[in-house]
Structures are given as C-alpha cells and as structure tokens.
Structure 1
Amino acid sequence: MAAFDTTPFPLVEMQAVANAQNEWLALTVRIAPGFDQAAALHAVFGEPDLLTAIAPLDCILHLASPAILTPALLALMPPHRMIFAIDAGVLGDEALVKHALALHDEGYRVLLDGQPAEGVKVPATLRAVALDCSAGLPVVRGGKYQVLSLFGPHLAHGVHSAQHFAHCTEAGFEWLSGEWPLRPAPSAKPHDGTSRKRLLALLGLLARDAESRELEQLLKQDPALSYHLLKLVNSAAFALSTQITSFGQAINLLGRRQLQRWLQLLLYARQQPDGMANPLLPLAALRAAQLECLCKLQGGERDDQDIAFMTGVFSLLDVLFGMSMEDIVGALGLAPAAAEALLLREGRLGEQLSMVEQRLPASAQLAALGIDNKQWWQSQLHAFHWAIQVGRNL
C-alpha cells in the first residue's frame, strides 16, 4: 500500500502579463515561500489543470535556479507553453549557466530575472530580460534605461502605476505585470456625469432584478454598452447560427442570470478614449469568478453565489468611475453582505474579497475561513480560466 501523502498543497501566486495594449498574453507563477519547491512544482504541474485552464496563454515560472528542473519535472512542462524567468545571479555559477543554456537548446524560452552583476558575461542566447520595476527603472549612465529589442520579448514585473507602465513600454518592455490597472493616470477629460448616472441606474436595476423592458430602455440610451452587448451575444462564445439584432433577443438568449452577469462586466468594456482594452475588465472578471467559486466550494446557495460574483465585479467600480465606493454602494441598494464586503471588507464575503485582492494569502488566513490550500488553488484556476475567456470575448 502506498504511503499517505501528507505534503500540503502549495500556495501559488499567479498574475497576468499584458502587452502595451492591455491584452493578456501570459501568466506568471511563483510558489510561495515555505513550501518544498520541487514537491510544489510537481503538485502544480502534475495534473493538466493549470496549463489547460490558462490556455492559450503561456506560463512564466519564476525560479531562483534552473537546477530544480529535473527531467521528470520538465516532462510536465511543454516547451511551447513554458517560459522560465531565472534569477540573473545564476550567471556567476558555470554549472547553472550550462543548465540554463540546455533549457534554451530544448526549446524553452529563458528570461534572466534581474540585472547581472557588473562585469559578468551574459551568453548571447540568454539576452531576454525580466526585471522588477516596482521601484522604477534602473538608473544608467548616458540616458534612459533600454532593453535590447532583438532578443525579446522582455518582461517588466512590479509595474504598479500608470507612470511605471509608460516608462517600461518606452524602455522596450513588451510584457508587463503589476497593479497599474488599479492606479490609472489622472484623466484630463472630465467625467461625463450623464453617462455615469445612467450606468449607476443600470447597475441599480440589475441589483434589484428589474424587468427586462426597463433594462432595454436604459441600454438604448448608451450606444457603447449596447454595442458591446450585441457584439458579445454574436461572438464565438455563443456560436449561434442566427445573428442577434435586438436587446429582446439578447435577453431571451442569455437568460436573466447570465444577462445580469454579463452586463455587470460589460460596464468595464466601454470603449477607451485611446482605443485600448480596459485593463480593469479581466481583473473584475477574475475577482467575481473566484469569489463565486469559493462560495460554491463552501456550499453556498445559488443566490449567495450570485451575490459573491456581483461583489467581485463591483469591487473595482470606484477605480472605473473615479468616485468613492460609499457613493457607489449608496446608489445601488445592494444586499447587506455585499455592501459590508465592499465598504468595510468585513463579514465572510468581505474577508474573502480581501484575500482575493492579496493574490497570495497566508494558509492561516484561509484556514480561518474554512478554506484549504487545494480549494484556494481550484478557485484560482477557475477564476483565471473565466477571466481569460471574458477578455477574449468582450
């Protein structure tokens, strides 16, 4: 009889990687400190769930050393889906350099994470860069920091503001990860008060389960939102043989529950002034899907799951509208659990929202809410799969 495996499932930090147009291209993966890294990687990649859930995106695995990548582990990581971001400190160890070069020869893409020590030679095939930009770009002599475009794509992580985002793209980074969607640049264009009131009114109708005809009347007043709704129902996500041309058809096709969910997300899909995708859209979808999944895993009823989903979507409305969450919640008439979660991060739903916002809560935090590490992992996979699909269809 095989021995019972008592190794705890690891906690994993996952974050989206986008291009300069805010389109998701990959996900970064880091095993949390305190777990046996080799065992953790076998647990995470030992089943096809991760790479299947995030398809077609690539997976960027951050590693301190390539030595951990044994043949058995590499067999779980197809070269066409995996990218290794390896600490640049390995350049001081000849054996580790050979290991990294061997990965390159086997078809894996390798990024050197961090700046090499002064005077250290960098092999020509290891010129792709990953760089922590949380404190800004490095200061260099002779002008601004630049990465060599020839050997990209290059990854800037820790990009936590719109200003950092602009600086990193100017420096040649094609891939970026960080919290910049939550800290947008101040808008030079004043808010359209009429449009914002209309959106809040629509959210209020959705929150109180209004009649379809009321939704239709308000949708007709918002051309951008109307366009996105009809675009959605005619997309590959629904694979219809007949084109949908009216709101009534769209509402009948989606059903009340799905209509409410998609309309909540469509608020983030309004056309940006610069034509780029709204980076808040997939983040709202991510939070919503993870909170819903956690509720379901803990035996929540369907109505409770809907409230959890809505809470996740609405948790970024203050950033979207540039107004206080107190004013937003006051205009919506939400369920008490949702209002408490959004305003105070209190109650079970509020505590779960706080953990979702952290991306890497402690095991003790999860245990306090009756969530084990494996359930958290399942909710992560479900949420990223959903968010990726939303980003591709809206």
Structure 2
Amino acid sequence: MAASDTTPFPLVEMQAAANAQNEWLALTVRVGGPDQGAALQQVFGAPDLLTAIAPLDCIVPLASPAILGAPLLALMPPSRVIFAIDAGVLADQALVKQTEALHEAGYRVLLDGQSGEGLRLPPTLRAVALDCSAGLPVARGGKYQVLSLFGPHLAYGVDSAVRFADCVEAGFEWLAGDWPLHPAPNAKPHDGTSRKRLLALLGLLARDAESRELEQLLKQDPALSYHLLKLVNSAAFALSTQITSFGQAINLLGRRQLQRWLQLLLYARQQPDGMANPLLPLAALRAAQLESLCKLQGGEREDQDIAFMTGVFSLLDVLFGMSMEDIVGALGLAPAAAEALLLREGRLGEQLRLVEQRLPAPGQLAALGIDHTQWWQSQLHAYHWAIQVGRNL
C-alpha cells in the first residue's frame, strides 16, 4: 500500500450509504484530481479496500466511463463495485455505449444527476443517483418520486431527518448524508433518569472504576444490560458457552475492551421505532480513526484509548440532546479529551476536526504531520471497525 515519494497516495472521500432502517449497505468512494483514472488505480490496486469494507458494496462516482480501461476494471469486480456516472454522458452516444457496455459486463450503473431536456434514457440504465441537498429534484404527479424507474436509487446530500424521510417516501433505497447529526426537531431525547444513569456510567468508566461498580449500575439499566450480553454472545466472539452474567462478560472482554464496547453501547439503545441508531457507526468510525492516527504517529496505548474515547463521546451531545459543556462537566475527562470535545483544540481536537470533515485538505494533514498513506490506512481501519460494530450491535 506504500505510496512513492513523488506520487502520494490520493486523498479519498468515503461516505456510507444506508437503507431506510439506517443500516449501512454501501460506501461511496470518491476520488478527485486531474487524473481520476490513475488515482483509482492506486486506490483499488491497494489490496486492502474491498477486504476492509466487506460485505459492503463500493459506489464509485465518475465524470465519464472513458477513464475505465481494462487494467483498472480488472481491479474492480462487478459483484462489489457500482458506478455512479454523470448523467451528462447521455449527450454523447459514444459514452452512452461505453456506459451500456459496463451494464452488459455485469456492473450496476447509476446515472448521477438529471438527464438533459430531450435526452432519452437507455432502457438498460434505469437507476439514478441524485443530489438531494437542496431538495428532491424529481417531480411527478405533484409528488417527488423515482418509483417509475427500476432502481435501486441513491440519494446523497441527505442532511436532515426530514429530508431523509422525504427521500425514503420518494423511493430511494440508498441514502447518504449527514442526517444522523441533525435529528428531527420533535425527536425525543433520552428521559432524565436514563440520561443521568448513562452519564454516571461514563463517569465510572472515565475514572477506571471497579468492575463491581459498573455491574451495579448496569443492573439498573435493562436496555444497556441486554445489549451487553447480546454483544458477548454474538458471532463477533464465537463462544462455545453462553455468557449469562455481567461478571462473565467483564472477564471475557477484559477491562480495556469493556470500556470501549460500553462506550459504543450507549448508542445502541433501542429506538422508539425499532430502527438502528444512525449515530452508532459514526461514533465507531470517529473513535477508530482517531485511535488509528494516534497509533500510526507513535502514541502510547493510554493515548490511543483517550483518542478512541474522544471519538465516541464527540456525538453524545446529539445523542442526549444536551450541550457538550454539560456532558464534559459530568465526566471528569482527561484534559486532552475535554479540550478536543469542547474547543476542537490541541492535537487531538485538530485531528477530530479532520475526521469530522471526511476529506481534509492536504495542507491540514501536513500541518499535523499526517501523510496521505497514513490517512488512508486510518480510513480503512475505521470503516472496517465501524462496519463490524454495526453488524454486531
């Protein structure tokens, strides 16, 4: 995976696409730059990508199919790769034929954007990807919908819970955007008793409390207790004997892993509608990438734990519907973590800013001594971990 000194590894923007139940189904892998073909050759030529994100599919946005030569396509198996090709290709019959040839070769193809006036949509290309950041752009019969096309369809730029609901109603099966960070205004946060208990549990974890103190608090929270026992009995641990008590669970996981899983289990609490919590994989993603960056830059194990915890806790204000100041004040966190969460300052805070952006500028990475290959490695590690968390919680 190592990049040469003269040709740094490309920066890759990655974002999950979920279904209407908030379950991740695919990852959009967007590579820009003046030579998109060469950049994709580097990304897919590295052996780790498709393995790390399995079993998710990979959606690759393209301006034109012309960049897809045989050597590049050989790295992109049709069973795992979906192309989202700019709908502007419909104005060029040669590009239309190349796009149809991809379909005939077994690739799934999404036409990205609305086709120009008067342009015919080929019968084999009936799935779309649409930018819905400014609203739903397809209007039929007074309602927004894409149900007349075959699909499955991708809506991206879905940046609010209201837009998410609209896109689902319109017939989009895949949705990508920041809607988990912007819940509906009428969404109910955790009740006061539950919130106090959860903050107390986090406080115990932060100060490395005795296991028996954790057990006593866990016994007061049936939902969190259920999720912990469900986790340790899941396929992730492949045990031959069922775990039935908190003491067994704590001994099995070990202190360090117990802390990490309990931090993430906060996001796994049952939702009123039974849907998965969309914040869970995002918290896992931030935590794992911050930990990976710390490790790649020589951070000690304790520093890696603080980085991981900072990533998990960075979404608690959204989860609880309360200010980060109140949350941090209740937890007694390490100064580096508190500074990062409250101000996005200090080295850890600056790295949290990068992780939140998804595609930082090269200068931002250089300022923190992070080369492009390190950033790519941290991305792969983080997505692999977040996918596993989403499947096991």
- State the TM bucket, normalised to the shorter chain: over 0.9
SS at match of 1:15: strand
Residue in 2 aligned with 1:358?
Answer: 357
In structure 2, relative to structure 1, the CA distance for the partners of 1:5 and 1:101 (3 Å cut) is farther
Note the C-alpha offset of 1:189: 4.1
CA–CA distance in 2 between the matches of 1:55 and 1:141?
A: 37
1:10 aligns with 2:10: yes
CA contact (8 A) 1:311 1:341 kept: yes
Identity of aligned residues (%): 87
What aligned pairs does 1:188-203 form with structure 2 within 5 A after superposition?
189=188, 191-203=190-202
For residue 191 of structure 1, report the CA deviation from its aligned partner. 4.0
**Separation in structure 1 between the aligned mates of residue 188 and residue 335 of structure 2, nearest angstrom:** 34
How large is the RMSD of aligned CA atoms in angstroms? Answer: 1.1
- Once the two structures are TM-superposed, the CA of residue 55 in structure 1 deviates from its matched residue by 0.2
**Counterpart in the other structure of 1:368:** 367
**How many angstroms does 1:144 deviate by?**
1.3
How far is 1:14 from its partner?
0.2
Note the C-alpha offset of 1:38: 1.4
CA distance in 2, matches of 1:78, 1:233: 34
> Which residue pairs with 2:63 in the alignment?
64
CA contact (8 A) 1:149 1:172 kept: no
Give deviations 1:52-111, integer Å, cap 9, x for gaps: 000000000000000011011000000000000000000000000000000000000000
Shift of 1:5: 6.4
- Choose 131-140 or 265-274, whichever is displaced more: 131-140
How far residue 149 of structure 1 moved from its aligned partner, in angstroms, is: 5.5
Task: Report the number of matched residues.
Answer: 390
Aligned residue in 2 for 1:236: 235
In 1, the alpha carbon distance for the partners of 2:222 and 2:296 equals 38
Corresponding residue of 1:346: 345
Deviations 1:239-272 (A, max 9, x none): 0000000000000000000000000000000000
Cross-structure match for 1:381 = 380
Q: Show the counterpart of 1:170.
A: 169
Equivalent residue for 1:105?
Answer: 104
What is the TM-score normalised by the length of structure 2? Answer: 0.98
| Contact residue 138 and residue 145 of structure 2 kept, 8 A | no
Distance 1:7 1:232 in 2: 43
Q: Please show how residues 40-55 of structure 1 align to structure 2 within 5 Å.
A: 40-55=39-54
Q: Secondary structure at the match of 1:126?
A: coil
Q: Distance in 1 between matches of 2:167 and 2:232?
A: 36
Q: State whether residues 265 and 284 of structure 1, in contact with CA within 8 Å, keep that contact through their aligned partners in structure 2.
A: yes
Aligned to 1:316: 315
* d(CA) in 2 for partners of 1:136, 1:332: 40
Gaps of 5+ in 2: none
Label 1:270 to 1:117 Cα distance change in 2 as closer, same or farther (>3 A).
Answer: same
Q: Distance in 2 between matches of 1:131 and 1:27?
A: 16
8 Å contact 1:10–1:35 — kept in the other structure? no
TM-aligned CA deviation for residue 138 of structure 1:
1.6
Q: Is the 8 A contact 1:338 1:349 kept in 2?
A: yes
Query: Do structure 1's residue 296 and structure 2's residue 295 form an aligned pair?
Result: yes
Provide TM-score, normalisation by structure 1: 0.97
Gaps of 5+ in 1: none
Letter matched to residue 143 of structure 1:
G
Shift of 1:150: 5.2
Residues 279-307 of structure 1: CA distance to partner in whole angstroms, max 9, x if unpaired?
00000000000000000000000000000
1:58-137 mapped onto 2 (5 Å cutoff): 58-137=57-136
| 2:26 corresponds to | 26
Contact persistence 2:139–2:145 (CA under 8 A): no
In 2, Cα distance between equivalents of 1:282 and 1:355: 17
